[in-house]
Chain A
């Protein structure tokens, strides 16, 4: 085509220019046409998906039945070796709400009647659901406890949970986030979690014993919608193992979990700031932060005090929160400015993030560079939400880091010499593994 421009004749040059213009116009028109057609096809496909999504949601069932206990769960927000909150829901108000409990070996010998009950605030409709919380104290560390909830219309099945150990022994935790939006995926992941907990219990390998699930937030799409919370709570029942083991939850607040229901569901005080730290065993400090309130200010000061006090006392420091400092999609949260310098200063071993709806693991990062003594960030939410394509060109996702997408849960195994991380995809395939040794920085005592 370019040769036509070199024609000596002015007339032919004019013609060739027209030909070239015509060619490019044709190309543009053809590409635009193809692009528009593709967009139309994709749009129709998407509309079909929306229809299918609505159709499947209609078939979801609520297992609530009058004043019969349901939506059972155990929550860890204070010392998990000696305390736990056992919670359940009823669809109708109930006068008698008690918890029968006792060491698993000796049976349900005690009954707690100091239940905190109330009607959930539904800010989006008139869905009716009542919460009941019993805070158990003075439990024995590393002990299995049987629990059975009772309300006016009957008793729940008998379950059990295990308190955190007092001894320095290996164990595992699960981390995941973003269980919102697609219920069928969420249910599948919950079933997989139950199966992992059951497997861990029966192998005899104590390091595979999964003690709790840390949830990085975004349980449901609209935090003010009680019907959605109720679905999530019912789906959470699927994490119970066939032997009746309840997996305690360590909850963090996500950006979709706005409103008062979050605190009601997880037994936080009404105006709680939702950041706290747990000692899970004598060598693991697990810090939960709230990226949905002021990240600087009091929370950053609390974090600094917490890390300063914990670094020398614990072998492993782990933090979880919702909005990532090193995101695989979207932009970094304020955590990058206010928390990351503290993580680096106090050699936090692993940070669990959510919100991005993908799989990621960064290399160890310190001062915006790969540094073996730095902090590793994992994430970003695969408990059911639609997965996204991570932006692989970001430096902190490139090898030795990684990023991918797929529904998943992340398994953290804390040993004496090693912290092992595995990203387990729905179906059981391990997508990513990583391990690190305890920090041996000269400034701190191991």
Chain B
């Protein structure tokens, strides 16, 4: 039975949550692949701390890390696949489909992903290293994805996302995006060596004449200034253009791992999905809202009460959601 027609606001909300689910799954797969699947797998700072600083047996530390990474990947994929399967079944089935409500099972994997990423980040900070103090800021967009999904889970009281909660968490996503861009911008301004090597590697792989280091540093300065500028704009304004630029730049910089080091670096690209994915969510949200506003305005002109038109049986809508436009 095809689902009932949804309100435009719910469509926007679903677009946001679906995008977040895809970003989270990609991010989890990337992070797990970095430590489990790539040809020369790495070790996390969690592993390194256990082995080198706390002198745990190597096999035990490896086991904990592997379990954590596998669990994170399974959680990320489950959060994408199960709701999708459920929707397909609902669409295809003529009768009711027995499913476990999202509010009962999804908090656990979302919390696990957040906690596991936080563990890795805290160990990374604790062990030190260049810019280790900034890891939480740099990963803000990554943390924001599971936390936002957690906040957007339906409850008994609110089967749909209340408008207030939606706007609050969109604000948090804006802040998280800004934090990530600020740290990357700061690193670029400081001519962070691995960023320079991404440029050199990309030129080398493309068989292009390698640029002078001084030119790459100048380019990084410009990039850093732009990153700081858009970080400020995403917090202060609601321009979809800014979000679009940040999404595009986030995906480009994530892809630079592959353009520089080849397909073996796919995990490095995937785990940075949130750098472009979270601004993309903001872009989708704002463009969706603008479409609704325009639609509402034109329908008001025709003196129709558009709020009641889109609703059909079984689609319970709160008064707060009607005011989104």
Name A's B-contacting residues (CB within 8 A).
39, 42-43, 45-46, 49-50, 53, 180-182, 221-225, 255-256, 258, 292-298, 300, 327, 329-332, 334, 337-338, 357, 385-386, 388-389
Contact A223 B128 (CB under 8 A): yes
Q: Is the interface of A mostly helix, strand, loop or mixed?
A: loop
Contact A258 B128 (CB under 8 A): yes
Contact B52 A386 (CB under 8 A): yes
B-side contacts of A389, CB under 8 Å: 58
Q: Does B57 contact A (CB under 8 A)?
A: yes
Complex CA–CA separation, A298 to B201 (angstroms): 13
A-side contacts of B63, CB under 8 Å: 39
Scoring B43, B52, B54, B201 by chain A CB atoms within 10 A of each residue's CB, the highest score goes to B52
* Smallest beta-carbon distance A49→chain B, Å: 4
- Pick the contact of B213: A297, A331, A332 (CB < 8 A): A297
CB proximity to A under 8 Å, residues B35-60:
38-43, 50-60
User: Beyond the given A182-B55, A300-B200, could you list 20 further A-B residue pairs with CB under 8 A, ordered by the A residue number?
Assistant: A39-B60, A43-B60, A46-B55, A49-B56, A53-B55, A180-B52, A221-B52, A221-B53, A221-B128, A222-B128, A292-B130, A294-B193, A295-B193, A295-B197, A297-B212, A332-B40, A334-B197, A337-B261, A338-B201, A386-B55
Contact B54 A337 (CB under 8 A): no
* Smallest beta-carbon distance A58→chain B, Å: 15
Contact A296 B128 (CB under 8 A): no
Contact A292 B43 (CB under 8 A): no
Complex CA–CA separation, A402 to B130 (angstroms): 32
- Pick the contact of B40: A42, A49, A224, A330 (CB < 8 A): A330
Complex CA–CA separation, A357 to B58 (angstroms): 12
Complex CA–CA separation, A300 to B196 (angstroms): 12
* Smallest beta-carbon distance A33→chain B, Å: 15
Contact B129 A256 (CB under 8 A): yes
Q: Nearest residue in A to B204 (C-beta to C-beta)?
A: A337
The total of chain B residues at the interface (CB under 8 A) is 35
Q: Does B210 contact A (CB under 8 A)?
A: yes
Contact A49 B58 (CB under 8 A): no
Binary contact readout B185-206 vs A (1 if CB under 8 angstroms, 0 otherwise) = 0000000011011001100100
Contact A388 B58 (CB under 8 A): yes
B-side contacts of A332, CB under 8 Å: 40
B-side contacts of A327, CB under 8 Å: 40
Contact A388 B51 (CB under 8 A): yes
A-side contacts of B41, CB under 8 Å: 330-331
Given the known inter-chain contacts A39-B63, A332-B40, please indicate yes or no for A357 contacting B200, CB distance below 8 A.
Answer: no
* Smallest beta-carbon distance B67→chain A, Å: 9
Q: Does B172 contact A (CB under 8 A)?
A: no
B-side contacts of A46, CB under 8 Å: 50, 54-57, 60
Q: Nearest residue in B to A48 (C-beta to C-beta)?
A: B55
A-side contacts of B58, CB under 8 Å: 388-389
Given the known inter-chain contacts A46-B56, A224-B128, please indicate yes or no for A386 contacting B51, CB distance below 8 A.
Answer: yes
* Smallest beta-carbon distance B215→chain A, Å: 10
Complex CA–CA separation, A46 to B62 (angstroms): 13
A-side contacts of B196, CB under 8 Å: 294, 296-297
Q: Nearest residue in A to B201 (C-beta to C-beta)?
A: A337
20 A-B residue pairings within 8 Å (CB atoms):
A42-B57, A42-B59, A46-B56, A49-B54, A49-B56, A50-B54, A53-B55, A221-B53, A224-B128, A256-B128, A258-B128, A258-B130, A292-B193, A294-B196, A294-B197, A297-B212, A327-B40, A332-B40, A338-B200, A338-B201
Binary contact readout B109-140 vs A (1 if CB under 8 angstroms, 0 otherwise) = 00000000000000000011110000000000
B-side contacts of A182, CB under 8 Å: 55
Q: Does B216 contact A (CB under 8 A)?
A: yes
Complex CA–CA separation, A223 to B193 (angstroms): 18
The 5 closest A-B pairs by CB, nearest first: A296-B200, A331-B40, A297-B213, A46-B56, A42-B60
Complex CA–CA separation, A434 to B51 (angstroms): 30
B-side contacts of A296, CB under 8 Å: 196-197, 200-201, 204, 210
Contact A293 B128 (CB under 8 A): no
B-side contacts of A255, CB under 8 Å: 129
Q: Nearest residue in B to A181 (C-beta to C-beta)?
A: B52
- Pick the contact of B54: A53, A338, A357 (CB < 8 A): A53
A-side contacts of B129, CB under 8 Å: 255-256, 258
Q: Nearest residue in B to A341 (C-beta to C-beta)?
A: B204
* Smallest beta-carbon distance B52→chain A, Å: 5
Contact B52 A293 (CB under 8 A): no
B-side contacts of A224, CB under 8 Å: 128
A-side contacts of B53, CB under 8 Å: 181, 221
B-side contacts of A221, CB under 8 Å: 52-53, 127-128
B-side contacts of A331, CB under 8 Å: 38-42
Q: Nearest residue in A to B216 (C-beta to C-beta)?
A: A297
Contact B200 A50 (CB under 8 A): no
* Smallest beta-carbon distance A360→chain B, Å: 14
Complex CA–CA separation, A327 to B58 (angstroms): 17
Binary contact readout B215-232 vs A (1 if CB under 8 angstroms, 0 otherwise) = 010000000000000000
A-side contacts of B60, CB under 8 Å: 39, 42-43, 46
Complex CA–CA separation, A45 to B193 (angstroms): 40
B-side contacts of A297, CB under 8 Å: 196-197, 200, 210, 212-213, 216
Complex CA–CA separation, A439 to B284 (angstroms): 62
A-side contacts of B210, CB under 8 Å: 296-297
